[in-house]
């Protein structure tokens, strides 16, 4: 192997809103490693450092972006894909995906344990790496990780839908040019808010730089989560219902003999059909006995799908505008009071209150993965009553601290810092800036759409549909977890139905892959699901390469 080239970086990176560097230098550590892939001993190169993104009009530097790239040695780059990974937030660096998903190394933990220190975790070769299929790049947005704005720009200038997409598109363009990868198939992978970022990027890359994606992969993507009711197109269904159904199944609460015998995919689909096809047909304010009978019947059906939660008993059906007018709680909304029960599963650190009290007294369930729980109603002790629309920033953000779903991920940032310094030999004096709740609170959702219109929220489905029509060679994949209440799997399905309305059915069938998995938001944090995702993503990447085009030619 070639000798390593360490890189000493004495810059102190500042993640605060008004911070910027006076100038930027492109530099990176380059190290060489061995790995066994499919029984073969192979070598790969790791590059950790910065690239500078410049204004497309003035060519002035805007930001220095930190990235880590892993490239398999001795490959034909005209057919070898490049996949760029983004976490979400907004406000998250790439450390969760980098240390937990499909890179060549990952963190190993005892599943379900409380990670309290370095002795609870190990870093080792990743059996589920995708390096056998694609080169992988993990990228930190501005104000996260080691990425920072360059003066006169400030970090907060890029904390919004439009500037974030522009700077990430500029980074991808810069990477592809400086590494001579213009002939390579290009893929983008986004998790959570990284999903709409990736979806909008698919259009922006083509529109601004002429770069065509061969693959768009979105895990638990919040594609259109910020639009309030009434929605521009169709009234939203009670899309949290299938997630509640799957949690009830997991905890043995489904007693209906027919439903209890269904497989997980079939049960999910049955619950989704109820939500999409029947509950949406309810008249908002029943005025006839027939309408009231229909509503009462559907509530009874809903009880079976939720394990007869007492909160559903005697539910009156009526339209309550207050349930759908609150943008802070858009995650779980509907036009009928059938969903009032689902809305009582408070969006805020936990699905506390009704779900916890009625299904599991004295337990706290994880928002990101309903299978994870702690003894004791933490949400109640943390004043759950304040976790409402008027105070969402003050309390609800604390779920990132207390959510039991995140136990195994708590030390990823510090582990990455050590790994970068000692193994990747990117030797910096700076702190690695992890997930920032502040960025999410101040994020500018104002979005410019392909037709030139502007709205106060991002709807990535519009961009995805447009790019699928412009670039029919692009393959699209979504993956979602049954037990994820942050981005319910049915909401992903509903949003992709919006995409499908703009695409001929035969073309949609050829271009779109849907994966559902038995885990939570971060499916890669679950050992069996990580393998399932790896296998499905490997198949998808093979398909995307077969239909791929050169990204920049």
Strands 454-455 and 447-448: antiparallel
Higher pLDDT, 522 or 372: 522
| Domain match, 215 and 314 both | no
Average pLDDT over residues 150-154: 98
Q: At what angle do helices 489-500 and 241-250 cross, to 10 degrees?
A: 140
| CA dist., res. 200 & res. 458, Å (int) | 9
Using DSSP, state whether 69 is helix, strand or coil: strand
- Among 362, 392, 407, give the residue marking a domain's end: 407
Contact by Cβ (8 Å): 1, 32: yes
DSSP string covering 135-158: EEEEE--TTSBT-EEBTTS-GGGG
Q: Model pTM greater than 0.85?
A: yes
Name the pLDDT band for 411 (thresholds 50, 70, 90).
confident
CB neighbours of 49 closer than 8 A, spacing ≥ 6? 7, 9, 26, 27, 28, 29, 66, 67, 426
pLDDT above 70: residue 514? yes
CA atoms within 13 A on the CB side of 338: 34
86, part of any domain:
yes
Give dist(CA 137, CA 46) in Å, integer. 10
Give yes or no: residues 375 and 486 share one domain. no
Mean of pLDDT values over 95-117: 77
- What is the per-residue pLDDT for 393? 29
Burial class (CB in 10 A: 0-12, 13-18, 19+), 508: middle
Buried b (16+ CB within 10 A) or exposed e, 403-413: bbbbbbbbbbb
Q: How many CA atoms lie within 13 A of 425 on its CB side?
A: 14
Q: What is the mean pLDDT of residues 537-541?
A: 97
pLDDT tens figures, 188-197? 999 999 999 9
Same structural domain, 266 and 219: no
Flag whether pLDDT at 525 surpasses 70.
Answer: yes
Instruction: Identify whether 60 is part of a domain.
Output: yes
Q: What pLDDT is attached to residue 129?
A: 97
Average pLDDT taken over every residue of the chain: 82
CA 166 – CA 141 distance, rounded (Å):
11
CA 151 to chain centre: 30
**Bridge partner list, 54:** 61
pLDDT at 375: 57
Q: Write down the pLDDT at residue 386.
A: 39
Contact yes or no for 311/344 (Cβ under 8 A): yes
Cβ neighbours for 10, distance < 8 A, ≥ 6 positions apart: 428, 429
Q: Are strands 475-481 and 215-219 parallel, antiparallel or unpaired?
A: parallel
Pick 39 or 262 by higher pLDDT: 262
- Among 121-130, 221-230, 322-331, the range scoring the smallest mean pLDDT is 322-331
Contact status, residue 312 vs residue 214, Cβ threshold 8 Å: no
State whether 200 and 267 are in the same domain: no
Residue 107 lies in a domain: yes
Listed residue (211, 238, 232) closest to 447, CA to CA? 232
pLDDT of residue 407 exceeding 70, the answer is: no
Last residue of a domain, one of 390, 407, 424: 407
Same domain (yes/no): 389, 425:
no
pLDDT given at position 318: 33
* H/E run at residue 448: strand 447-448
- Assess contact for 428 and 421: CB atoms under 8 A: yes
pLDDT at 324 over 50: no
Nearest to 246 by CA among 151, 359, 336: 359
Domain assignment present for residue 129? The answer is yes
Q: Whole-angstrom Cα distance, residue 134 to residue 524? A: 18
pLDDT at 127 over 70: yes
The confidence band for 497, taking pLDDT boundaries of 50, 70 and 90, is: very high
Bridge partners for 247 per DSSP? none
- Residue 345: name the closest of 360, 332, 336 by CA: 332
Does 395 lie in the same domain as 262?
A: yes
Total residue length of the chain: 553
Question: In terms of domains, do 349 and 310 share one?
Answer: yes
One domain, residues 245 and 385: yes
Higher pLDDT, 56 or 405: 56
Question: Based on the domain organization, do 173 and 98 belong to the same domain?
Answer: yes
Contact present, 386 and 536 (Cβ < 8 Å):
no
User: What's the pLDDT band for 451 if we cut at 50, 70, 90?
Assistant: very high
Are 476 and 401 in a shared domain? Answer: no
| Structural contact between residues 142 and 171, judged by C-beta atoms closer than 8 angstroms | no
Q: Does some domain include residue 81?
A: yes
The pLDDT of residue 400 is above 70? no
pLDDT digits (tens, 9 = 90+) for 153-173: 999 999 999 999 999 999 999
List pLDDT tens digits, range 169-189.
999 999 999 999 999 999 999
Domain boundary among 351, 380, 407: 407
- Model pLDDT, residue 344: 33
Please give the pLDDT value at position 274.
Answer: 87
What is the per-residue pLDDT across 20-76, written as a single tens digit (0 to 9) for each? 999 999 999 999 999 998 888 999 999 999 999 999 999 999 999 999 999 999 999
* Number of domains forming the structure of the chain: 2
Maximum C-alpha span of the chain: 80
Alpha carbon distance 121, 375 (integer Å): 23
Clarify whether residues 417 and 343 are in a common domain.
no
d(CA 205, CA 207): 6
Residue 412 confidence (pLDDT): 84
Residue 232 lies in a domain: no
d(CA 79, CA 184): 6
Q: Would you say the C-alpha torsion 378, 384, 386, 389 has a positive or negative sign?
A: positive
Compute φ and ψ for 161, nearest 5 degrees.
-60, -55
pLDDT number for residue 433 = 95
Contact 505, 145 (CB under 8 A): no
CATH of residue 37's domain is 3.40.50.1820
Considering the domain architecture, whether residues 385 and 503 belong to the same structural domain is answered as: no
Predicted confidence (pLDDT) at residue 270 exceeds the cutoff of 90:
yes
Domain of residue 207, residue span: 7-227+409-546
* 8-state DSSP, 209: I
Residue 413 lies in a domain: yes
Specify if 368 maps to a domain.
Answer: yes
If we measure between CA atoms, which residue out of 120, 129, 90 comes closest to residue 537? 129
Give the Å distances, CA to CA, from 55 to 7, 16, 51, 150, 304: 27, 22, 13, 11, 56
């Amino acid at each position: 192997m070639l000798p390593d080239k360490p890189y000493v970086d004495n810059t102190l990176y500042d993640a605060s809103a008004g911070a910027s560097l006076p100038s930027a230098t492109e530099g990176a550590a380059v190290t060489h490693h061995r790995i066994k892939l499919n029984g073969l001993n192979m070598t790969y190169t790791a590059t950790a450092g910065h690239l500078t993104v410049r204004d497309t009009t003035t060519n002035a530097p805007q930001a220095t972006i930190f990235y880590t790239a892993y490239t398999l040695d001795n490959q034909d780059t005209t057919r070898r894909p490049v996949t760029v990974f983004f976490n979400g937030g907004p406000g998250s660096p790439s450390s969760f995906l980098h240390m937990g998903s499909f890179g060549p190394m990952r963190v190993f933990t005892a599943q379900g344990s409380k990670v309290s220190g370095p002795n609870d975790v190990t870093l080792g070769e990743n059996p589920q790496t995708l390096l056998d299929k694609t080169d992988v790049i993990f990228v930190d947005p501005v104000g996260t990780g080691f990425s920072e704005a360059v003066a006169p720009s400030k970090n907060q200038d890029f904390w919004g839908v439009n500037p974030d997409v522009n700077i990430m598109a500029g980074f991808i363009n810069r990477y592809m040019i400086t590494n001579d990868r213009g002939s390579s198939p290009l893929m983008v992978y986004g998790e959570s808010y990284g999903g709409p970022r990736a979806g909008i990027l698919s259009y922006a890359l083509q529109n601004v730089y002429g770069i065509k994606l061969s693959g768009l992969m979105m895990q638990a993507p919040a594609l259109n989560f910020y639009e309030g009711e009434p929605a521009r197109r169709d009234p939203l269904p009670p899309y949290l219902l299938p997630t509640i159904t799957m949690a009830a199944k997991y905890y043995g609460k489904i007693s209906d003999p027919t439903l209890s015998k269904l497989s997980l995919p079939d049960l999910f689909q049955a619950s989704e059909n109820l939500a999409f096809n029947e509950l949406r047909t309810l008249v908002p304010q029943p005025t006839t006995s027939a309408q009231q009978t229909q509503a009462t019947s559907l509530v009874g059906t809903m009880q079976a799908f939720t394990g007869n939660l007492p909160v559903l008993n005697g539910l009156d059906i009526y339209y309550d505008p207050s349930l759908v007018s609150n943008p802070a709680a858009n995650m779980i909304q509907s036009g009928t009071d059938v969903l009032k029960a689902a809305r009582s599963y408070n969006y805020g650190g936990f699905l506390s209150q009704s779900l916890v009290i009625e299904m599991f007294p004295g337990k706290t369930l994880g928002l990101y993965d309903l299978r994870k729980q702690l003894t004791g109603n933490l949400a109640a002790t943390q004043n759950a009553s304040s976790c409402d629309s008027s105070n969402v920033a003050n309390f609800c953000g604390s779920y990132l601290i207390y959510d039991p779903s995140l136990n195994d991920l708590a030390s990823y940032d510090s582990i990455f810092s050590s790994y970068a310094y000692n193994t990747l030999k990117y030797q910096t004096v700076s702190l690695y800036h992890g997930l920032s709740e502040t960025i999410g609170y101040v994020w500018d959702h104002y979005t410019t759409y392909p037709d030139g219109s502007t709205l106060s929220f991002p709807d990535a489905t519009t961009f995805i549909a447009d790019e699928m029509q412009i670039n029919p060679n692009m393959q699209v994949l979504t993956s979602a977890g049954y037990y994820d209440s942050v981005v319910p799997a049915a909401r992903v399905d509903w949003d992709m139905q919006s995409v499908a309305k703009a695409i001929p059915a035969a073309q949609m069938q050829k271009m779109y892959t849907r994966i559902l998995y038995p885990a939570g938001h971060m499916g890669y944090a679950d050992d069996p699901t990580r393998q399932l995702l790896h296998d499905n993503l490997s198949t998808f990447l093979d398909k995307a390469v077969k239909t791929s085009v050169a990204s920049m030619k």
